[in-house]
Amino acid sequence: MSKSKVIVITGASSGIGLEVAKHLTEKGHRVYGVARSKIHDKYIRSIQADVTDYEQLKQAYQDIFDIEGKVDCLINNAGIGISGSIEYTDIVDAKYMMDVNFMGVFHSTKAMLPYLKKTKKSKLINVSSVAARLSIPFQAFYSSSKAAINAFTESLRIELAPFHIEVCSVMPGDIRTGFTKNRKKNPYEGDDYQKRVDKSVGVMEKDEQNGMDPILAAKVINKLINKNKLPLYKTIGFKYKVFVLLQKVLPTKFVNNIVGMIYGFKKG
């Protein structure tokens, strides 16, 4: 067993976050799970805080450091989903998604950096998505938020290099979790979008429900935590690694057209 580490993970009350938290505790690490609701697992140290509230995170992370004297790894995992056409997406919903998915990563990172800098060989892992590289129609804001996380990770890695903090963006493909049923959908779509949105979201949800077991993501993240050097990006799932590779080598417009054929349903 590897030496026990202090690990903080946001969005740990369900889905990938909960699976990762459970797996890491089984590996002997001291895991603090951050979520708005209490985490009912006797092995996960539950911290109730909202990633949209920087002051809550700042106090929570200070409390953790005061107890432990170090934080070996921060995993920014909290996120939400919305689906529907861009035209009919409510501005409030779009702003809230970016506040959780992207600004939440910023808040969490900013609050934790003083303690990661005080911990030798610390790590920071941001959970992004393959959707960051392959933007999906009718999930534009989710794809955008994850693409922003990737850009944030790239800048962060360079800025933190002098402090020897390893930074990585993890990009899972479709994983079976409660995220699918919890995704918020536009309450109204115009007649010019409704059939296409229904078909597209239906394909997307089927892919998710038939996706990978979340334990796979947990095992990948555990391996990353135990590495001395982290890759800038880590894609989870063999076929998704192929998709990301093709996205790199094929013309961008060609790849965009392929995604449109799979999810766009241009003829309604």
Active-site residue (options: 32, 61, 115, 142): 142
What is the rounded end-to-end Cα distance, in angstroms, of the chain? 54
Cα 55 to Cα 58, 100, 149, 215: the distances in Å are 5, 15, 21, 32
83 is catalytic: no
Q: Phi and psi at residue 265, in whole multiples of 5°?
A: 45, 60
Which candidate in 46, 83, 128, 169 is catalytic? 128
Known catalytic membership, residue 42: no
Buried residues in 151-185 as b, exposed as e (16+ CB within 10 A): ebbeebbeebeeeebbbbbbbbbbbebebbeebee
Helix/strand/coil (H, E, C) string of 174-239? Answer: CECCCHHHHCEECCCCCCCCHHHHHHHHHHHHHHHHCCECHHHHHHHHHHHHCCCCCCCEEEECHH
Catalytic member of 144, 146, 193, 263: 146
Half-sphere exposure of 112 (CA within 13 A, CB side): 31
- In sign, the C-alpha dihedral spanning 118, 56, 160, 167 is positive
Is 195 an annotated catalytic residue?
no
Q: Is 128 a catalytic residue?
A: yes
Residues tagged active-site: 13, 128, 142, 146
